[in-house]
Each structure stands twice: as C-alpha cells, then as structure tokens.
Amino acid sequence: MTAAPSTSADTTHPTGVPGLTTVENTSPADVAAYCSELTRPAYPHQEIYGQYCTIHEYVDCPPDEAYEYLKQGHHLEEWTFSLRNFEPAGTPGLWVGDDLLEAGTRIYCRVETNAEARTVDFHCSWDQGEQLWMIYLMRVVPAELVVNRPGSVITWTNCRHPFYDANPRPELAPRLDRTWVGGYWDLFYAGHTVEMANLKAILEHRHRSGVPVSVPPRAANGSTGPAVAR
C-alpha cells in the first residue's frame, strides 16, 4: 500500500517514525481501498465498546443553557437513572449520594468544568471518595457549528479504567453479593443512551415551554449537589 513519495517539499512531516500512513508514502486511492477493507457491515460489541463508550445526541436547547444545566451537579438527580440523595461528603467539592442501581451503594462525585470549551466531567467512584476513577466526560457543542441547526450536540465518553474489571476496595462493598459496577460495562452504551434521552427530554421540554432550564436544588438546606471545580 505504498506509492512514490510526494515531490512537494514538506519540512514538517516526521521522519524516522515507522508505521505512518500519509500522503507522502501512500496514494489517496490506496488509502481509500484500505479504509474500505476496514469498513464492515457489522462489528462485535466488544470491538466497538470494549475499551471506550461514547454516545452523542442532538438537543433542541441553546448550548449555554445546556451547559449551565449539566454543570450544576444537583441535576444528576433529575436526568440519571439511579443517582439520588447527594450531600456534602466532608471534603470541599466532594459529594456523596446513593446509586440505586445497587442497593446500599454510595457514590462519590466531583464536577470539573471548562466554560470556554463547555466541558463537564463527572469524577465519581463507588464506595469511597479518595480515588475518583469512574470519569464521565461530557461536552456541549453549539449545533449551529456542526450540523447547521439551532441547539446543542452533547457528547459523552467513558474510558474503561482497570478498576471496572476488579474492585480495588472490596472490603467497602455493602454486601458480598453486590454486582460490581464493571459488571454493567457491556450495558453502558444502552444505559447511557437511556439517560441521554432523559437529559434531552428535560432540556427540550423546559426550553420549548419557555421556563428556566435549570432548577433550584430540592434540598431544603439549599445545597447545590456535586460542586463545580474550575
């Protein structure tokens, strides 16, 4: 799959790096043929979602409003399937709540954001708050830029940390027969799709109804749920 090197001068192209496929060593026709070989009508689930799980959705809600909603951690109790009852965990910026997916399971959470890029990252873990290794990476993109529509495109990625395969603190489990969070990994795409549909429904309903997209926290003490770390 090689072709004669390009005759155009390119002082920026890396030299001495094996395995690169670029226009300098591969013709466009050859790379198109190779890409066709790599493209199949069906793919094993493990091959697509074994190490990384990414979903995305168009939402008819302005990106600034969608971002402000996501960054306020108490909204996790609205759009996620099972995260509830957050309260301060005693460390600044760290919150703890219940993951009702598994009875008796506590989940710790910290929110990290970047307003310029509209990223909202939820750093979480079951059972303990010392190492937040379950990280949910979300970004709100202005839909006008990418699909020429008003509203937002929201992306959500999870990476398969090794702790999904083995609980690093089994002694903290509320019971011996509890299913570990990693046992659900093969269902992450489907489960997160359900939650993204919840997020879309809430944002679109409130935006189209002309009411504020974000709502005050339900806690009587006014706490705002998992706090934002900037």
Residue-by-residue pLDDT tens, the chain, 230 positions? 444 444 444 556 677 889 988 888 889 999 999 999 999 999 899 998 999 999 999 999 999 999 999 999 999 999 999 999 999 999 999 999 999 999 999 999 999 999 999 999 999 999 999 999 999 999 999 999 999 999 999 999 999 999 999 999 999 999 999 999 999 999 999 999 999 999 999 999 999 999 999 999 875 444 556 655 54
- CA pair distance 95, 147, nearest whole angstrom: 36
Are 198 and 82 in contact by the 8 Å Cβ rule? The answer is no
- CA pair distance 164, 222, nearest whole angstrom: 34
CA distances from 23 to 17, 31, 82, 173 (A): 15, 9, 49, 54
- CA pair distance 101, 158, nearest whole angstrom: 18
Q: Residue 219 has what pLDDT?
A: 56
**pTM of this structure:** 0.86
**Three-class SS state of 154:** strand
How many angstroms separate the most distant Cα atoms in the chain?
71
DSSP track, 29-75: HHHHHHHHHH--S---HHHHHSSEEEEEEEESS-HHHHHHHHHSGGG
Q: Residue 225 has what pLDDT?
A: 62
Q: Residue 220 has what pLDDT?
A: 40
Q: How far apart are the first and last CA of the chain?
A: 47
Q: Residue 6 has what pLDDT?
A: 46
Q: Residue 228 has what pLDDT?
A: 54
Count Cβ atoms within 10 A of the Cβ of residue 117 and give its class: 0-12 exposed, 13-18 middle, 19 or more buried: exposed
